[in-house]
Amino acid sequence: MQINAPKNASEVQQLAGSDRDHLLQIIAGTTDLMEDIWTGDHGSSKYLAMLRASVEHAANITAHLVEQGSEREAADDTFDQGDDEDPLPVSERRVPRRPRILAVDDEPAALLLFHELLTLAGYHVETARSGFECLDRVSRERSFDVLVLDLTMPFMDGEETFRRLRAVAPEVPVIITTGFIDPDRLKNLYAAGLFAFLSKPLAPDDFLEQVANAVAARKAAAESSLLRGTAAA
């Protein structure tokens, strides 16, 4: 896959956005092919060949996205350099902590998409394949800033996982994603403390905006709690 080197940080972001949208289209098409194969429709061998081609294409685009992410970081470092002639020694520089996001979905393609979108946006991303794994990770680590949770998962669905999370880590904002949800069910989830809901297929810009809002809300709540603790002392 031929890649033209971007000229600046803005061009890197534009290229990443274009490939990101392309990857979304490939994943959506791959899901349709899987449904045809699962139901045993006529021409399944053709679908399998197309599926292999889609997966290979998605892998190429993913590699491109990762490379663009590295280029963007390098470009940002270049453009962010100030005119200071005497910067702080490395030992005295404070490296800002990247917000930690846990994405939970039983579909590997969805986890790949979440990981690439969020990594390119500057987040530290980890993934889990089930509600059980999610609850185990959150209860042990307690350091995630936002959880992105698929609603439709086997054994323990997203709603049950969410309600158990409220007992384990009520301070962590949760964003639920799914293709369709009954309005009354969604209303009950919001009443229980859901931060946001996004319909699949995801619009990348809307998704990243909601994650940024959730991170900001988490930070504001933590700062408010710290101030209350300081005042009480």
Q: What's residue 183's pLDDT?
A: 93
Distance CA 55, CA 37 (A): 15
Q: Which residue bears the tokens 């005497």?
A: 86
Distance CA 152, CA 163 (A): 14
**What average pLDDT does the segment 101-128 reach?**
94
What pTM was estimated for this model as a whole?
A: 0.60
Burial class (CB in 10 A: 0-12, 13-18, 19+), 148: buried
| Average pLDDT of the chain, as a whole number | 75
Predicted confidence (pLDDT) per residue in 56-66, tens digit: 655 555 555 55
- Give the single-character DSSP code of 223: H
Predicted confidence (pLDDT) per residue in 135-151, tens digit: 999 999 878 999 999 99
